[in-house]
Structure 1
Amino acid sequence: MEYRPINFLEQQTEIIKPKKPRWLIFLIIIILLFLGGCLAKNIISEKAPNDPEAYDPITLKPKKPEGFFQKMKYLVFNQDKELIGQDKDRINILLLGMGGVGHDGPFLTDTNIIVGLKPSNGQIAMISIPRDLGVAVPKQGIKKINYINSLGETKETGTGGEFARKIFSETFDLNIPYYIRVDFKAFGEIIEAVGGVTIDVENDFTDHMYPAPNNDYQTVSFVKGVQTMDGNTALKYARSRHGSGTEGSDFARARRQQKILLALKEKMLSFSTLSNPLKINNIIKSLENHITTNLEFSDIISFIKLARELNFNQITNLVFDDSETGYLKSTFGVDGAFLLIPKTGNFTEINNTISNVFSGELTAKETKTDDTPKQTLKNENIIDKIITVEIQNGTWNAGLAARLKKRLEDKGFTIELIGNSETRPQPYSGIFNLTNKKTEIENSLSQELHLPIKQQPPTNINAATGTDILILLGEDNIE
């Protein structure tokens, strides 16, 4: 062991390193925190990529990038994006179908379907809302639900879908974060893109009043049985609402629309090029003037991944109607427009049914009215009695009554009967209230048609039994 002598007489001197000022240390910390925050913002808070080319078409995951920071982003975004509602096991999407520019009532929605998804067990529900359902719109009163999209468009072009999404959410007390709105052109071209759809037509039916160009009609017919439809035929099958037999109602049309969507889904899943979301994105781009949605591409990716886990063999289909066991009843608004409203006077029961659509325990129908509804249709906004309106053509101008019927129905009126008067020609036109009570309907019809309201029809004019209001078209009528 080596011993080193210590000189106790020599003073030991401690060498002290100069201290860095504390403010410099704090400054360095602040700079590091700032830089770290900037880096975190760029890497972590950035949304999942919405560029279709950033995804692998097979795995549907973001492509592995080059570079250190890009690889860090990849590690962050390699996880699936969670859709709104997924944390609560209920995702809702609103599907809207409209005519589009060039059609009568271009922004009126013939198709109004809420699609509900339950990710935990793959359940799917399709809930069809009838176009004539009356709903409360802030500062507007009671309006038909198919008018909501159009109302939004009048406020600001391109916002109709978002406005409809909000009104649907409020009406049915349901979180609906997503919407897709398509017009007839997009509907037909999407079906053409997959090579048509296979439909099992349940009933033979003919519709003599299917809309044709120039405010005219055409006849369309369908034969019972399984058949493949192209885009144009599928559109006619989905739109027809004056068919013979049981197919002549808005509710039958809603069921046919659900069939078309399910058939389209089957074809898209089996059609290899369209199982690729990049191809879907290309279709959406090519039809960007005919499809409106608030879905980002990353949302589409998430939905397609989710679709692989859904049970498409067992879908709950719900159509609200005014049948004896249905939730709705028929009435008229103060402007004469035909409306459907809840039998209970509010939406509480309907909303409970929609909310519990996956439970298998739908709310039993009740006749009593809840005194504290979320939304109530007030009596001053509706007329409880169903008014029957008839149109008679008193001229030799063929198809005049049918064309007027279409025009009025596009405006929201319901016409029960049309035909030719027994005696022709009739010199003068008029609107005749055949009841003992005045209603707002004849006033609305008079304003729309610019025809006078008269007391009694000519003696040689006979209305059908049960007609409340008769519209007689005479030689003085200007079409």
Structure 2
Amino acid sequence: MAGSHQVSGQRQAGGRAVAAGRQSQRSKTMFGIAVALSALVLLTAGAGRIYLQLDGNIETFGADGISGRPSASANGSNVLVIGTDARTGGNSALGGGNKSDIGRADTAFLLHVYADQKHAVAVSIPRDTLVGIPACKLPDGNWTRPQSNTMFNEAYSVGQFAKGNPACTQNTVEKLTGLRVDHTVVVDFKGFAKMTEAVGGVQVCLPQDIYEKDLNPHRTTRGDQIFAKGPQSVSGQKALDYVRIRHGIGDGSDIGRIKRQQAFVAALLKNVKSDGMSPTRLLPLANAATESLTVDPGLGSAQKLISFTMSMKNIDLHNTKLVTLPWRYQGARVVIVHPDAEALWAALKADRTLDGQDAGKHHEEQASDSSPSPSATESVSGPGVSVAVYNGTAVTGLAARAADALKRHGFTVTSTATVRIQSKTVIEYGPGEQEQAKKAARIFPGAEITTTTKSGIKVLLGKAYADTSATTASAAPSAVPSTVAGGARSADDDPCSNLSYG
């Protein structure tokens, strides 16, 4: 019995030891979980404080000033980035000038992020481009009358709002492109300078030595050298000086400066990507940026802003292109080249890259639609036939799409324009041009052919063509002109290449 009790006691002792061991193991496990949870809570609380700080930095502009919007597209997203030259809010310390100057849209580009989130293209809009500015809201709640033949950068100062009018600039871009702008971001001098400091500087390249007079042409002397020729890293004030330099390089134009600004943006993207686009890496940059950032309400919180930025982390640098809106000089101003601009906007709307790739989510749907486009008829031969194309519908870019179809068959498109709305597509021709008109009509099945006393062949596009074109767009996509695609900069290009116009 005694032995039995002893064995029992030993078993009990062993059981207690095993139980104690298990309890100890559980305690360690629970302790580890508790530590992990505590760390998570602390990290989350820290992140929460950071997000609250960032939220406090971000300013938004009123969405009630945005009007007449194009319909939303399932093909990618569009972000308007405005660099303002405002001197208010302490910006005069960096840029000089009148401290009460609300500024204009000194730099602007529309960033199209494709639906596959692997491609992107930024289209620079020259500030001196003559455009139509639609009705925009004033501080008193009234709306302006639409303006025509007005410099693009003036939209930002419409109404003389204390902090500018980004909504009016967005309205102008939507009218210009026919694309819906999903988000708008405004950066001033201070925000720009702080961002370049947060990433540790940006690699740039100067084609020549630069002096103070190159930055400020009103100086009577050359002044000190501020940049040496060749590659170098810049941040803060020097980075701002670099992107603002206009005189003394190339032809001293804003177009030449745009090329250098595109090289800068490419280098900045390369820098951010090389550091890794994680929230930890992005937070210092976000903190610097948001201190002088104004955004639309859709990006009005740190969480939304960083989430949107993180959605672009898989875009390859080589697949990030920077181009300039097709342009030409008209005196001292810049005017848009048609139909090249319409072809560019149509390609972005269809989510096609500059080299014609389908980068949208609709590829499989398009592949299943095998119905041929009337414009794909190979038997049509148009060399030697000149045609003017007029859009008689409300569909933006339709004339460019029709012009592209004609060009693929050898026709020469002399011009494109917009006319009053009409239901039918009509081909007009002058004396002795009937056979040529019949050739053009084969590109537009169902079109009426009529004769006029004036020479020249005109294609007046009606609603019937718009409906047909919408169902066959996949078979006949608008091609981006080679003059536009060929001049694109990739974000991984050498920062010393293709710097100056003129």
The TM-score with structure 1 as length reference comes to: 0.50
How far off is 1:358 after superposition?
A: 1.2
1:242-284 C-alpha deviation (Å, 9 max, x unpaired): 123x363212211211222222223334447975454444334
The residue type equivalent to 2:330 in the other structure is T
How do 1:40-439 and structure 2 match up within 5 A?
88-101=74-87, 102=92, 103-104=96-97, 106-120=102-116, 122-138=118-134, 139=145, 140-152=147-159, 154=160, 156-158=161-163, 160-201=165-206, 203-204=207-208, 206=210, 209-212=213-216, 222-244=227-249, 246=250, 248-271=252-275, 275-285=280-290, 287=291, 290-294=292-296, 295-296=299-300, 297-320=302-325, 327-332=326-331, 338-344=332-338, 348-349=342-343, 351-352=345-346, 354-355=348-349, 358-361=353-356, 368-372=414-418
Question: Quick one: structure 1 residues 373 and 315, their matched pair in 2 at CA, closer, same or farther if it must change by over 3 Å?
Answer: farther
- In structure 2, how many angstroms separate the alpha carbons of the residues matched to 1:268 and 1:85? 33
Q: Between Structure 1 and Structure 2, whose CA radius of gyration is higher?
A: 1
The residue type equivalent to 1:358 in the other structure is T
Gap regions ≥5 residues in structure 2: 1-42, 52-69, 135-144, 358-399, 421-502
Paired residues, number: 282
- Identify the structure with the greater helix proportion: 2
Q: 3-state DSSP class of the match of 1:298?
A: helix
Q: Considering Cα pairs closer than 8 Å and 6+ residues apart, tell me whether 1 or 2 has the greater RCO.
A: 2
CA contact (8 A) 2:213 2:222 kept: yes
The residue type equivalent to 2:294 in the other structure is T
How far off is 1:117 after superposition?
A: 0.8
Identity of aligned residues (%): 21
The residue type equivalent to 2:329 in the other structure is S
Q: CA RMSD in A?
A: 3.9
Gap regions ≥5 residues in structure 1: 1-52, 62-83, 321-326, 333-337, 375-479
The residue type equivalent to 1:291 in the other structure is L
How far off is 1:239 after superposition?
A: 1.0
How far off is 1:122 after superposition?
A: 0.5
CA contact (8 A) 2:347 2:353 kept: no
Question: Quick one: structure 1 residues 56 and 169, their matched pair in 2 at CA, closer, same or farther if it must change by over 3 Å?
Answer: farther
The residue type equivalent to 2:266 in the other structure is L
How far off is 1:354 after superposition?
A: 4.9
How far off is 1:233 after superposition?
A: 1.8
- In structure 1, how many angstroms separate the alpha carbons of the residues matched to 2:83 and 2:419? 30
Q: 3-state DSSP class of the match of 2:317?
A: coil
CA contact (8 A) 2:183 2:295 kept: yes
Q: 3-state DSSP class of the match of 2:414?
A: coil
CA contact (8 A) 2:81 2:108 kept: yes
The residue type equivalent to 1:165 in the other structure is Q
- In structure 1, how many angstroms separate the alpha carbons of the residues matched to 2:271 and 2:327? 34
CA contact (8 A) 1:188 1:235 kept: yes
CA contact (8 A) 2:192 2:289 kept: no
- In structure 2, how many angstroms separate the alpha carbons of the residues matched to 1:218 and 1:293? 39
- In structure 2, how many angstroms separate the alpha carbons of the residues matched to 1:177 and 1:224? 40
- In structure 1, how many angstroms separate the alpha carbons of the residues matched to 2:132 and 2:179? 15
The TM-score with structure 2 as length reference comes to: 0.48
- In structure 2, how many angstroms separate the alpha carbons of the residues matched to 1:345 and 1:267? 36
CA contact (8 A) 1:194 1:267 kept: yes
The residue type equivalent to 2:127 in the other structure is R
- In structure 1, how many angstroms separate the alpha carbons of the residues matched to 2:180 and 2:418? 21
- In structure 2, how many angstroms separate the alpha carbons of the residues matched to 1:208 and 1:329? 30
